[in-house]
Amino acid sequence: MILEIAERHASRPGPLLPLLHAIQDEMGFIPSRAVPIVAEVLNLSRAEVHGVISFYHLLRETPPGRQILYLCRAEACQAMGARDLERHAKEKLGVDFHETTSDGRYSLEPIYCLGNCACSPAIMIDDFVYGRVTPKRFDMLVKEI
């Protein structure tokens, strides 16, 4: 499958980033075995491919939990209590950033602005953004989803 995705994107100009996104969309992360395949198809070195994957914060090399919970740490959210929310989320889920809950349910990731800054603090669960997330609302969202 990785080979098929790689070949599908190979002929586009500047193919590497769209290709890596396609792998991540399909598999949830970019497994290490993808690196030599992608390198070969695009005629790059493995170091180049790995260098790109590690440069970008939102490309992941490890499998995520069933859902990814992104918590905004940026200033507009800070102004409305994001620091407290961060402490609360870590305690509630029992994980730090870049970790997955023991039941495999959530991976907690920091993010720096979701463009929801007029209704902060904000979190995103997979592709859906939630606004004005108080600790109480956080608990409801985490229970509900």
113 part of the interface to another protein, by CB under 8 A: yes
Q: How far is the CB of 103 from another protein (least distance, A)?
A: 25
Q: How far apart are CA 93 and CA 69, in angstroms?
A: 10
Task: From 95, 96, 105, select the one nearest 141 (Cα to Cα).
Answer: 105
Among 4, 96, 127, 144, binds another protein (CB under 8 A): 127
Q: How far is the CB of 69 from another protein (least distance, A)?
A: 14
Among 15, 28, 31, 64, binds another protein (CB under 8 A): 15
Q: How far apart are CA 142 and CA 140, in angstroms?
A: 5
Residues 30-59 that bind another protein (CB under 8 A): 51-52, 55-59
113, with CB counted inside 10 A (0-12, 13-18, 19+), is: middle
Among 39, 122, 138, 142, binds another protein (CB under 8 A): 122
